Amino acid sequence: MYAGREVTFDQLIGYLWSDDPPRTARSVIQVQISHLRRAFPGTISTTSGGYLADVDPARIDLHRFRRLREAADPAEPEAALTLLAEALECWRGVPFSGVGSEHLYYSVVSPLLEERWAAVADWAAYAVSLGRASEAVSYLTPIVREEPLRERLHHLFVTALWHSGERAAALSAYEEIRSRLADELGVDPDPDLTALHTRILRADTVEQTPPKGLPSTLPPVKDQFVVRNDLPRDTPDFAGRRETLAHLVGVGTSEDDRARVCVISGSGGSGKTTLAVRAGHELVDLFPDGQLFIDLYGYTADKRPLDEGTALGALLRAVGVPVEDLPDSVDERSALWRATLRGRRLLVVLDNAVSYAQVNPILPSAEGTLTLVTTRNDLGGLGGTDYVSLGMLGEESALELLGNVLGEERVLKEREQALRVARICGGLPLALRVVAGRMLSRPKWSFGHVERRLSEQSRRFRELQMDGQNVEAAIDLSYQSLDPAQRRAFLLLGVLIGTTVDLHGASALLDLEPEDTDDLLQGLVGVCLLEEPAGDVYRLHDLIGDFSRYRGTSDLDPVEVGAARGRLAEQYMTVSQRAADLLGPRAHGSRDEAGGSRYRTELLDRAEAEAWFDLHQDNIADVIDFYSDGESVEEAWVMAEAVWRFYAQRGRMGHLLTSQEKALRASERRGSQRGRAVTLIGMGIAHCLSGRFESALSFLREAHGLLEDLGDERGIIRALANLGMVYERMGWFGEAAKCIEGVLDHALSQGDKQLEVMQRGNLAMLYQNLGRHREALSLAQGLLGSGVDERQENSGLQAMLVVGEARTALGELEGAYEALRTTVELARGKSMKEMYAHNSLGVAYRAGGRFAEAVTEHRTALELADRSGNRSADSEILTDLGMTHAAAGEHAKAGRTLEKALANARERGERYVEARASLALGRLPAPDMDAARARELLTDALRIFEELGLPEVERAREALKDL
């Protein structure tokens, strides 16, 4: 069934044990898979979620059966009979017999058996019509005993007996099925079987009684076939969807020898019908026998979905079958429809389909036909089809649509405001068309005016309706199709904290087990009310989210909403504490999880912690808002403290600053001294990384004092460690070293190995900056030699960086290159460490005279800083880049770069970098540097180096002497 496709553990468990799997379910599956691998070596591979069988479908009986059956549909009767007989030879008993799973039987086995019995019926009908009734009797005799209630098979059996000259046996067979239906079900046979019985009693001729399943008359002859184009008017303002449209046209123009089918799914208003109609018009010349369009009313207000029989009747009449020749049953109409299209090139659009059952009997099977099906639902049961899922229009496509309706000039005149309108509409084509239509009839309306109207959420949906086009109504039709459990889930998703939610978060929100939650969410995805941008990650489209929130205000109990949001916030709190523990030492240790969320996501290592933070970083900022705006002040600062390191490492300065500011305001509002102190440390870190060192010192010193008053030793040590970081950035390396040595002493006294490793790495860096290169190298090598576990990964990276920098300073360039290249590779994806590693590698290349490579590394460091938003090292990197230009003899470039570095350093208060930039500028030769300006710069450099007590003092003095 799933050849070439992944089958997940959850699917296998569901098939085998339904809702009650044993604890050993995974182990049982793994053992059985190992048996299968031994039986079929090289066939089954393990995927991230389960298993995949890489096998040629032609070797699998089920796929051979389906291929042969499909080939029989358009074939002539004799050939069809042969193909069906070959297909039925693929069957050996009942699939999965002995497994004993009801879910497996009803979801997999039963549909497969339906395919088998349908093929049996088709074979028997052809056999009887070709005068081979005796063969049909022999074949059907054991089957009707096996399937005593299948009326079509019994109809064919009775017909075959009669056509074989066994009138009495035919009547007896009829009486047997009639009695069984009456006894077991209390019903009479269907009208076709009863009519057949009547004809046999009246001794009608055999020729007047065709087998059930074949039309009572031959398909219309060629000159009776009506060629027509029923496609709606093509939309002249069609925009975007170029790749998808090209895919549909490609399907239509392919030389595939099968009947081609493409399912176009998407939410209400996403432009499914517009796309199908546009594709139909582009393909019209390739389908000379007609283009049919039928609305199946799957999601249409005040209309019930068309049943299959009605839809088939409309399509058959459209191609010229007289009303009086239409069979009564769906099976016979479907057979007539397939026969009528044999040998014709026809395009059919089935619009607004609601289910597999509605569509399946209508699909043409003739080679040369193309069927486009639009739907809001998964129609996964349709085999051998292409699937296209429509998302929302991108910003440029949305502007294109508005421009196509209103004129490009009107859009370009207010492009930014038009872009904001498109964003409010979330790229939903229906919403954009309504906006464009309203503006077209109101030429004085500006996009700014429309933006203001749409920004008022209470009236947004009123603004998005016009002349029968109604965004709210389009969404409501999907909402009305949900069962009560799905509606509750949909409405609660509208009040989630953040914009996305994973499976465990949704379980907390809904207060359900993950398995039950998954079923509900997949149901919502299936009707296009919920998006799944990544596996087990979900979001509501903006307008669908608005609908959910509005409907929820009347349909949800406010107490239930508050409880749901509280559970979700607690889930984020619980998991963020675990993730923070895996990233590095904590100021207050992990929050007690005994009362934490039972929906927690299990994280096993640093990589999983970083991945979780990566996924939820924006949502966590909203969780801090949630706690800050409520009464849960402690949770606000605890959450902010948990996530600061990740925000800092990823360069998310905006999130880092705002989360700490909000937590600080909440702590001050409630008079929480501990919360204030911890958040002041976070503010100090944020300001330091943003280059605001004086304010960083102020925050950290205040935090240090508060923590001393509270007697919080762990907090004091954390404040001291971060003071050391700020001193280092300001060039006060001696003061920084004192702070770090104090933290190291604490770590040693407490036996805190993780903190010890971190501070040894920091101390090695400070020794390097102080010119104590041998000590720095020894300390860093000792740290690497002692083994650094994954929780100390950043300390290991820092130690490797120091090794490279120290070897550069000592002239050991080959060792420096090796260490720094290794650091670059290990730091990839970690913005701050990667940035410093590239810059230091540039310094090493400069020392080796490899200037072009050095410039490339410095510029890479600057690009990383720009992408991450972490500009704390800009002055340092620009200084090193300027020094590289100077060493390469590019004095004009050096001057421009160093002037920029100097201005930046002075603005930030980075005195050490200011002195380095001044020294490098002052040493530039004339005419690129004026002598008086050089003396001023070198004097400033000498003064700063002396104040900081740094070894560069001698270089500055020598430079002044050389003037």
For 346-384, give one letter per residue: b (16+ CB within 10 A) or e. Answer: bbbbbbbbbbeebbebbbbbbbbbbbbbbbbbbbeebee
What is the predicted pLDDT for the residue at 936? 93
pLDDT of residue 444 exceeding 80: yes
Distances in whole angstroms, Cα of residue 122 to Cα of each of 79, 80, 193, 422, 738: 13, 9, 17, 53, 90
Question: What is the CB neighbour count within 10 angstroms for residue 219?
Answer: 20
Terminal-to-terminal C-alpha distance of the chain = 84
Are 587 and 700 contacting, i.e. CB atoms less than 8 angstroms apart?
no
What is the predicted pLDDT for the residue at 884? 96
Over residues 458-478, the mean pLDDT reads 72
pLDDT of residue 618 exceeding 60: yes
What is the predicted pLDDT for the residue at 257? 67
Phi and psi at 287, nearest 5°, equal -130, 75
> Which residue, chain included where needed, has tokens 């020729």?
207
Over residues 220-227, the mean pLDDT reads 59
What is the predicted pLDDT for the residue at 8? 75
Kind of pairing between the strands at 537-539 and 531-534: antiparallel
What is the predicted pLDDT for the residue at 3? 60
What is the predicted pLDDT for the residue at 457? 65
Over residues 271-295, the mean pLDDT reads 90
Residue 171 Cα to chain centre, angstroms: 61
Instruction: Say how far apart CA 578 and CA 596 lie, in whole Å.
Output: 11
Nearest to 696 by CA among 740, 666, 660: 660
What is the predicted pLDDT for the residue at 854? 95
Instruction: Give the pLDDT confidence of 483-504 residue by residue, as tens digits.
Output: 899 999 999 999 999 989 999 9
Over residues 532-560, the mean pLDDT reads 87
- 213 confidence band (pLDDT: 50, 70, 90): very low
Q: What percent of the chain has pLDDT over 90?
A: 19
Q: Considering only 278-287, 487-496, 622-631, which range has the smallest mean pLDDT?
A: 622-631
What is the predicted pLDDT for the residue at 214? 47
Kind of pairing between the strands at 44-46 and 6-8: unpaired
pLDDT of residue 101 exceeding 80: no
What is the predicted pLDDT for the residue at 239? 84
Over residues 751-770, the mean pLDDT reads 84
Q: For residue 941, what is the enclosing H or E element? A: helix 931-948
Q: Considering only 581-590, 818-827, 833-842, which range has the smallest mean pLDDT?
A: 581-590
Tokens of 57: 């479908």
Are 275 and 304 contacting, i.e. CB atoms less than 8 angstroms apart?
no
pLDDT of residue 464 exceeding 80: no
Q: What sign has the CA pseudo-torsion 163, 169, 171, 175?
A: negative
Comparison of pLDDT for 28 and 408, the residue scoring more: 408
What is the predicted pLDDT for the residue at 591? 52
Q: What sign has the CA pseudo-torsion 611, 615, 618, 623?
A: negative
Over residues 331-341, the mean pLDDT reads 83
Instruction: Say how far apart CA 806 and CA 813 lie, in whole Å.
Output: 10
- 306 confidence band (pLDDT: 50, 70, 90): confident
Query: Identity (one letter) of the amino acid at 460?
Result: R
Are 842 and 876 contacting, i.e. CB atoms less than 8 angstroms apart?
no
pLDDT of residue 838 exceeding 90: yes
Tokens of 319: 């191609």
pLDDT of residue 881 exceeding 90: yes
pLDDT of residue 100 exceeding 70: no
What is the predicted pLDDT for the residue at 33? 79
Are 17 and 9 contacting, i.e. CB atoms less than 8 angstroms apart?
no
> Which residue, chain included where needed, has tokens 């440029």?
396
Instruction: Say how far apart CA 527 and CA 541 lie, in whole Å.
Output: 13
What is the predicted pLDDT for the residue at 220? 37
Over residues 433-438, the mean pLDDT reads 83
What is the predicted pLDDT for the residue at 917? 94
pLDDT of residue 901 exceeding 90: yes
For 558-572, give one letter per residue: b (16+ CB within 10 A) or e. Answer: eeebeebbbbbbbbb
Comparison of pLDDT for 515 and 651, the residue scoring more: 515
Are 330 and 317 contacting, i.e. CB atoms less than 8 angstroms apart?
no
pLDDT of residue 143 exceeding 90: no
What is the predicted pLDDT for the residue at 594? 45
Over residues 276-283, the mean pLDDT reads 91
Q: Considering only 468-477, 554-563, 595-604, which range has the smallest mean pLDDT?
A: 595-604
* Residue 421: partners with Cβ closer than 8 Å, 6 or more residues away: 402, 435, 447, 450, 451, 454
> Which residue, chain included where needed, has tokens 């008022």?
456
What is the predicted pLDDT for the residue at 4? 59
What is the predicted pLDDT for the residue at 590? 46
What is the predicted pLDDT for the residue at 19? 66
Q: How does DSSP assign 5-52, residue by residue?
A: SEEEHHHHHHHHHTT---TTHHHHHHHHHHHHHHHSTTTEEE-SSEEE
Q: Alpha helix (H) ranges present in 89-166?
A: 102-104, 110-129, 133-146, 151-163
- 61 confidence band (pLDDT: 50, 70, 90): confident
Nearest to 608 by CA among 576, 649, 640: 576
Q: What is the DSSP letter of 105?
A: I
What are the respective helix, strand and coil percentages of the chain, to the nearest 5?
Answer: 65, 5, 30
What is the predicted pLDDT for the residue at 216? 39
What is the predicted pLDDT for the residue at 840? 95
Task: Give, in degrees to the nearest 5, the angle at Cα 52 between 49 and 56.
Answer: 165
Element counts in the chain: helices (H) and strands (E): 45, 13
What is the predicted pLDDT for the residue at 885? 95
pLDDT of residue 182 exceeding 50: yes
Instruction: Say how far apart CA 128 and CA 124 lie, in whole Å.
Output: 6
* Residue 69: partners with Cβ closer than 8 Å, 6 or more residues away: 83, 84, 87, 115, 119, 122
pLDDT of residue 236 exceeding 50: yes
What is the predicted pLDDT for the residue at 585? 59
Q: 3-class SS at 300? A: coil
What average pLDDT does the structure give for the chain? 83
Over residues 613-638, the mean pLDDT reads 84
Instruction: Give the pLDDT confidence of 715-753 residue by residue, as tens digits.
Output: 888 888 889 888 888 888 888 888 888 888 888 888 888
Over residues 415-437, the mean pLDDT reads 85
Instruction: Give the pLDDT confidence of 71-99 residue by residue, as tens digits.
Output: 887 888 888 899 998 988 888 878 777 66
What is the predicted pLDDT for the residue at 60? 82
Q: 3-class SS at 539? A: strand
Q: Give the largest Cα separation in the chain, rounded.
A: 130
Instruction: Say how far apart CA 418 and CA 446 lie, in whole Å.
Output: 9
pLDDT of residue 119 exceeding 70: yes
Tokens of 902: 């100097």
Q: What percent of the chain has pLDDT over 70?
A: 91
